[in-house]
Structure 1
């Protein structure tokens, strides 16, 4: 296993600036109705062009990319429109508005209510994630579908780690590249707001040892959660189709309850068989 790469220290403002710069570089002048003049040395739009489209000064936009200033939601919405950001990217940019306080999270433990919910979901796989996506509670169905987290070292009990660093994941997940890329985008959007959080930094450094993750992370891709059907090639149960359901735990901010629900009768039967024989 290759050594983990530790990301360079950063701040929310620098994270925002780097993201805006990456989106400016990919935007072609003709896309926003500007002439593509000969001899352009900028891969995408110039800073002055983005500033003009957003209705702000070039100096202010430059400082924004350099991470030297914060700004308002109104300005960031204008910049997002100028850069033709999609809804997920716009939401990511707006998460950096400094009027909203950085997230604060409680300790990583699951309440009795969440523990009861996870247990009663059996045989359907279910798990509770803390704000860093560490697995803090799971049922027999989850252990049978993937692996029993109790067999992993504590720092390996993490959803992102399982997808990128647990070798069986690439054969278990039928659409590994699609699912892994989307998951990393969601995680990046979450971690960017607290770049000095040691657990986030530790996980990013570990995951970047994977070349796919390193490439996608370098592109500063972000993603939002989308309900979807995940396909599995299980070594015992065979092909499975499971609907991925995610619920926020209101009583425990930052925690989420995940369940994998059968999408067809064959999967329902296979899931019950897995738990019965596990």
Structure 2
């Protein structure tokens, strides 16, 4: 029987419940017709029944029910079978597999940025560059980043966050030409990280702030998950005009949890615009 007979407390169960809620949301979006299953006018369950998913995944009805209820731990093999049964995409499958429980302790992220990484950020000018921590808080940035968006030094410390800038800083909706799809993608990436740390106060604080935005609140409730994809972002800057920037993200191996983000010009006009913004041209 599932339970806490091994001495596990609620801290271990909370991620399981998040996983269960995610699986349920994906089960409810599928229809029997999509899966080649017979329909029924008496069907009351939105989407597939639990037993139907269990059959498609090759596991018992009760085990899948316990999985959705957050009552059991399970293996990568089972979760892969469930992901296939629910027709999860690559990002959703990776999200589900991230809940496979590991006894290894996650190495904490340092609260500082090394001299080497700071030098790299500065050397990128006039191209915008920034370093973020696991909560997507901005730790270091250059003049190009401040000129493209806003100078984070002018913001309150808790507002120096990538998600805050996208959803709570009003100019972002005019600055990003494709604001909605990019905002949805960033929120999906952030949710995948936050879901694995349900007791982290900073994640909870950021989510609470985001819920004040109607779009963020609605999309977050959908439990949409996304993974990072290199892309060209189109900015409509009030001073520099149209800018097309390739968005690059690199992990800082020497500083666990830190990522280096850079915006590289995709054409000569953008390069000239960045130089004008920062006084390099």
TM-score over 0.5 (shorter chain): yes
1:1-278, aligned counterparts within 5 Å?
11-99=14-102, 101=104, 103-276=106-279
Deviation at 1:102, TM superposition (A): 6.1
Deviation at 1:208, TM superposition (A): 1.1
Q: Distance in 2 between matches of 1:49 and 1:99?
A: 29
1:212-256 CA-partner distances (Å, limit 9, x unpaired): 011110100000000000111101101110000000001111110
- The 1:45–1:101 alpha-carbon spacing in structure 2 relative to 1, beyond 3 Å, is farther
The match for 2:6 is: none
The answer (yes or no) to whether the contact 1:102–1:194 under 8 Å persists in 2 is: no
Deviation at 1:99, TM superposition (A): 2.9
CA RMSD, 1 decimal: 1.5
Structure 1 range deviating more: 37-46 or 181-190: 37-46
The answer (yes or no) to whether the contact 1:229–1:241 under 8 Å persists in 2 is: yes
Which consecutive unaligned segments of at least 5 residues does structure 2 have? 1-10
- The 1:102–1:228 alpha-carbon spacing in structure 2 relative to 1, beyond 3 Å, is farther
Q: Distance in 2 between matches of 1:158 and 1:116?
A: 21
The answer (yes or no) to whether the contact 1:230–1:242 under 8 Å persists in 2 is: yes
User: How many pairs were matched up?
Assistant: 270
Q: Which has the higher contact order (CA 8 A, sep 6+)?
A: 1
The answer (yes or no) to whether the contact 1:109–1:130 under 8 Å persists in 2 is: no
Q: Distance in 1 between matches of 2:30 and 2:235?
A: 36
The answer (yes or no) to whether the contact 1:105–1:131 under 8 Å persists in 2 is: no
TM-score (norm 2): 0.93
Deviation at 1:32, TM superposition (A): 1.5
3-state SS in 1 of match to 2:223: coil
Q: Distance in 1 between matches of 2:71 and 2:138?
A: 37
The answer (yes or no) to whether the contact 2:231–2:246 under 8 Å persists in 1 is: yes
